[in-house]
Amino acid sequence: MIASFTPAELRNALALLSSPGLIRLITEIDDNGPIPPRRLASTLADLSAHHLRRTSHVARVHGLVRVAPGVGLALTEAGSELADFYDATARWARRHAYPTRVCDFTSRLQHSLSLLAPALLADRTDGSRRRAGVDLPSAEAAMDLAHPRALLVQWLNANRQVTVLLEAELVA
């Protein structure tokens, strides 16, 4: 249950979690291990230096990554659990060809989070499980989406710090 979150807090958290830079950073570290010092720019070469600094700062402030001495940028427990949520959500999206059969990982996650957002906000405001007019690929997809949704609710309840919108995030 996410009743303790305000709609604004949920929107803040979902905006943060669907940030392309954050998705890339968390999944890169999850897939390949810590990013050595001064290797972030070459690891995520398609992101600008400003975007990388902002993303890594926001991830550190929200407790998703930490700088491990001699190792580099590593996931915290919260970051590792977020990576598990991202993986489960991407598996759901690939299984149901959402949003399309061919799509990159980041876009799949962003579109899937956009499906989860109205449901979480509806749960928060009126207890319903409406999908707010979003068409899912099938009834099976709607049922299967319950697993990523449950993981997200569990993660949000354990990581309330992501509901706080930081001034650095407003600058985007």
Note whether 94 and 34 are within 8 A (CB).
no
Reported as a single tens digit per residue, the pLDDT across 43-99 is 999 999 999 999 999 999 999 999 999 899 999 999 999 999 999 999 999 999 988
The pair of structure tokens assigned to 46 is: 């398609």
pLDDT of residue 169: 58
Burial class (CB in 10 A: 0-12, 13-18, 19+), 132: exposed
Q: Phi and psi dihedrals of 100, rounded to 5? A: -140, 170
Q: How far is the CA of 52 from the CAs of 23, 25, 40, 65, in angstroms?
A: 12, 9, 8, 13
Q: What domains does the chain contain, in order, with CATH numbers?
A: 7-160 (1.10.10)
Reported as a single tens digit per residue, the pLDDT across 86-132 is 999 999 999 999 888 899 999 999 999 998 887 777 765 544 444 44
pTM equals 0.87
Cα–Cα distance, 147 to 169 (Å, whole number): 29
Question: What is the DSSP track for 64-108?
Answer: SEEEETTTEEEE-HHHHHHHHHHHHHHHHHHHTT-S-SS--HHHH
